[in-house]
Amino acid sequence: MEVFVTRKIPKVGLSEITGRYDTEVNPESRRLSKDEIIQGVKGKDALLCTLTDIIDEDIIQEGTSLKVISNYAVGYDNIDVDAATKKGIAVTNTPGVLTDATAELAFGLMLTVARNMVKGDRFVRKDSFEGWDPTLMVGSELKGKTLGIIGMGNIGSAVAEKSAAFGMDLIYHNRSRVESVEKELGADYVEMEDLLERSDFVSLHVPLNEETNGMIGWHELEVMKDSAYLINTARGEVVDEEALIEALRSKKIAGAGVDVFADEPYGANPDYYDLKNVVLTPHLGSASRRARGGMARMAADNLIAVLEGRVPENIVNPEVLEEQGDRR
């Protein structure tokens, strides 16, 4: 069996693959071009890729021997799953192991932007700090504020759970109601408009798909309180960035914490850079040693399971294996 790995992932997972299969690993720490990935998948039985690799139909067509595309990410919007399914290729992802890391980052962004921590850090480094000042960089506390969570999957639920420690009131919007967060955490299910109107912090935890692309636009930002903050650790395209930049510039909302960008994998919109009421991080949601190690192990396990004819723990298009099972 031959495997192509587009980017070095932590050894705990990578060594499971290299120890078993004839494996070609991109030796450089850079994203490969589409042509390089096409060359890489030729004749390979499995592809292990990251969320910065756009695995489109062209690549899938060239991977004539591919049995599995194992994504080193929970989100799989970078993969044309329909094209893979049509070709009978299993697509797998890494849910669960990065849930807490991402939820913690969401709180990090809430605190950082609402309590002026980045602004304060720059201020001190500029040698501008001349002692405690009763009016210096006075921000907003989390306690007693309303947190509106959009998307109550694993990560949304972990954010909900952690919000109790900060004494926040919880409302949420999701495709369907989640009884456990209502019963255990006292979260109220509300319509989207209601959530936007009432929340002091709006935190996004939806996957990127046709329904969620651009779900936060100018109208949604206008509905939000002027004192509210928007936190995005989901995907850049969920928010209309031009509208958000305008809302931040005109102080339509108080601020934002942004970890993900519509221009990924090429970078961020430079129009954010001059704005003082936004904190920007470079897609760090899963960037903890525990999460990245867990993702590596899971991506390797998923890949190995498919190559060994087993059903992987995390499959995005199970119908592929069901059909194969029926044929066997």
- Rounded distance, CA 133 to CA 301, Å? 55
**93 vs 146, which CB is nearer to ligand DGY?**
93
The yes or no reply on residue 60 touching ligand DGY (CB under 6 A) is: no
**199 vs 233, which CB is nearer to ligand DGY?**
233
Classify burial at 271, counting beta carbons within 10 Å of its beta carbon; exposed 0-12, middle 13-18, buried 19 or more.
middle
The yes or no reply on residue 156 touching ligand DGY (CB under 6 A) is: no
- Rounded distance, CA 280 to CA 233, Å? 11
Cβ 94 to ligand DGY, closest distance in Å? 6
Cβ 51 to ligand DGY, closest distance in Å? 5
Which one among 116, 140, 286, 317 touches ligand DGY, defined by CB under 6 A? 286
**Active-site residue, from 205, 235, 292, 297:** 235
CB 84 within 8 A of CB 319: no
Rg from Cα positions in the chain: 21
Residues contacting ligand DGY: total by CB under 6 A? 8
- Residues 81-100 binding ligand DGY (CB under 6 A) are 98
**Active-site residue, from 173, 205, 283, 297:** 283
The yes or no reply on residue 73 touching ligand DGY (CB under 6 A) is: yes
CA 28 vs CA 63, 114, 125, 161, 265: distances in Å: 22, 38, 35, 39, 17
The secondary structure of residue 33, as a DSSP letter, is P
The yes or no reply on residue 51 touching ligand DGY (CB under 6 A) is: yes
Cβ 285 to ligand DGY, closest distance in Å? 4
The yes or no reply on residue 316 touching ligand DGY (CB under 6 A) is: no
Distance of CA 31 to the CA centre of its chain: 18
- Rounded distance, CA 182 to CA 165, Å? 16
**74 vs 170, which CB is nearer to ligand DGY?**
74
235 is a catalytic site residue: yes
- Number of Cβ atoms within 10 Å of the Cβ of 293: 16
Which one among 75, 108, 156, 236 touches ligand DGY, defined by CB under 6 A? 75
24 is a catalytic site residue: no
**162 vs 252, which CB is nearer to ligand DGY?**
162
Classify burial at 120, counting beta carbons within 10 Å of its beta carbon; exposed 0-12, middle 13-18, buried 19 or more.
middle
177 is a catalytic site residue: no
Cite the active site residues.
235, 264, 283
* Site for ligand DGY, rule CB under 6 A: 51, 73-75, 98, 283, 285-286
